[in-house]
Chain A
């Protein structure tokens, strides 16, 4: 069984976010593989090490730098990469992204048993693409899993996901889509020997036209959504400190909750 892991190149978590011309100012950003995708890659590699997958394919849509995110996935242990790279893709929304990724999978032969995603990308934070890909391919999907048991011979996967107050257990027929989060596994550090090995693993590149799209199908032109503006979150204000005897503090807190923020 082949396993596909979807990878995104995102700004490092320590990035100082700045806006320029109503877009993210990308001039000084360091990029990394989306941390949630690391759980997906790790899980796929463990499936291979456990004899449940023959090949792990890392796929990404993005500019040249996305190759580095793929290289990270290859250094964790994925076997090969697919990169869809084209200037025309700039401005694509999640719908276009899903559409393009699905087309690239078709081009690659559609012979996968499982599709793994990080539950969200830490930049756009939409959580859209996994569901859209599953829908377009007509596959079962579950998200934010913390445990995964795959039975390729029995043609099914069982995934546990956190819900309020407990866990849900989902059984799905293969192929299926799952999204991964913290708690599923502990991703390994890409070691130096594996980084050197990753250098030699192939990354297949596709352009928009390779996938049979024209410029109007993708980018802003093909998008179903439009970003009207970006804004930085408001500065966090200093907390409110209530001092005094426990009774006074409790009284003041109650009053605050009732009258100022009106939650009770």
Chain B
């Protein structure tokens, strides 16, 4: 067993740290308050090649994997960017580049990957619907064969980045659930170019992460050619898993990064701040929960790197899924605890926007709901890892 990163990986982490220092919490405070996209940050990560980590050299990337993606994201998040260190990269690279690299035709690769690697093409994924989220099999957005293409109708919700993206990974059914021989059959993935008059995008006001908009997407009679299908018609479920597991992992890394960032902030503050004679950091009532959270974050980090390693080695999806869900559950529990106790440590300043902890609180609140709820992650562990009966129908 070898826990050391390679020299190149360490240098990549260093570049990520440098960028994070140039885009510190104050930068994100402003972007969050203004509800503005972090254009300067996007340019910096594009220039650094972070959007082409998983894209092969042939298409302008560096052809690395989940491990390097995780590493870069963790460093960005932990060193000051918070969730922003993951968000934009996830939308374009996990939702766009990863499935196209794995399942795209040569034509699709040529069309999307080189621009993505340069940061010239933003992406998004349209999966969740008003009546389908974790229960993806109940997807109602339907793509009906018409001529040498498909006519698509449906409504998607909470689609982050859809307002800016030039491309969208659209999850549909091409065979209705009640007509499918098994529930995994009939899911089809499409690559849709945006903006498109048949696709209406409405941002939804939300709790945090306002440097990116999450939108309702209404698709009305959208026609796409056969060449827009990613992977095979009716067989999109397993390819989709290879998007959802990486998504889970980058959000796990973001949680670890946010938790560590909050702890670092609490530690710095608590060693200076005196209310009575000693700095508040000397109080075990603060130290112990922060220490517990820290230990939990480091455990989740290790597990997440293991999941990334399994993914990069092409392990079975069940093994990747189990590891990713366990890492996610532990990371989010401990990151939530970390931010909670960081806020407690900063007292009133923890509630003040310019001290950032309250923003990280709003950011970490998302991760207990998405990419999968904590409860569904635990269900997965209970059912698929431990072999207990399924608790929902």
B18 x A195 contact (CB < 8 A): no
Q: Does B377 contact A (CB under 8 A)?
A: no
Task: Report how far A161 CA is from B44 CA in the complex, Å.
Answer: 30
User: CB of A199 within 8 A of chain B?
Assistant: yes
Contact residues of B: prevailing secondary structure? helix
A193 to B11, CA, bound (A): 11
For B63, give the chain A residue with the smallest CB separation: A196
Q: Judge whether A191 is part of the interface by a CB distance below 8 angstroms.
A: yes
Residue B125 lies at the interface, judged by CB distance under 8 Å to chain A: no
> Does the CB pair B10–A68 fall under 8 Å?
yes
B53 CB to nearest chain A CB (Å) = 6
Partner of B50, one of A192, A194, A199: A192
Contact call A199/B8, Cβ cutoff below 8 A:
yes
Known: A68-B7, A71-B7, A196-B62. Contact between A189 and B12, CB under 8 A? Answer: no
Least Cβ distance of B268 to chain A in Å? 11
Q: Give the size category of B's interface with A.
A: 20 to 34
Contact (Cβ within 8 A) B62 A193: yes
| B14 at interface, CB cutoff 8 A | yes
Compute how far the CA of A68 lies from the CA of B8 in the bound complex, rounded to whole angstroms.
Answer: 9
Query: A189 to B52, alpha carbons, bound, how many Å?
Result: 15
Question: Which A residues touch B49, using CB under 8 A?
Answer: 191-194
Q: Which residues of A contact B18 (CB under 8 A)?
A: 189
- B68: chain A residues within 8 A (beta carbon): 192
Determine whether the beta carbon of B12 is less than 8 Å from that of A192. yes
B136 at the interface (CB under 8 A from A): no
A67, A68, A191: the one within 8 Å of B15 (CB): A191
The answer to the question of A190 belonging to the interface, with a C-beta cut-off of 8 Å to chain B, is yes
Cβ of A75 < 8 Å from any Cβ of B?
Answer: yes
Complex CA distance for A190 and B53, rounded to whole angstroms = 14
Asked if A72 is at the interface (CB within 8 A of a chain B CB), the reply is yes
Query: Assuming A189-B47, A193-B61, what are 8 further A-B pairs, CB within 8 angstroms?
Result: A67-B7, A68-B7, A188-B47, A189-B44, A191-B15, A192-B15, A192-B49, A195-B11
14 CB-based A-B contacts, threshold 8 Å: A67-B7, A68-B10, A72-B11, A72-B14, A189-B15, A189-B48, A190-B11, A191-B15, A192-B53, A192-B62, A193-B49, A193-B62, A196-B8, A196-B62
Instruction: Enumerate the 5 nearest inter-chain pairs by beta-carbon distance, A residue then B residue, closest first.
Output: A192-B49, A191-B49, A192-B62, A189-B48, A195-B11
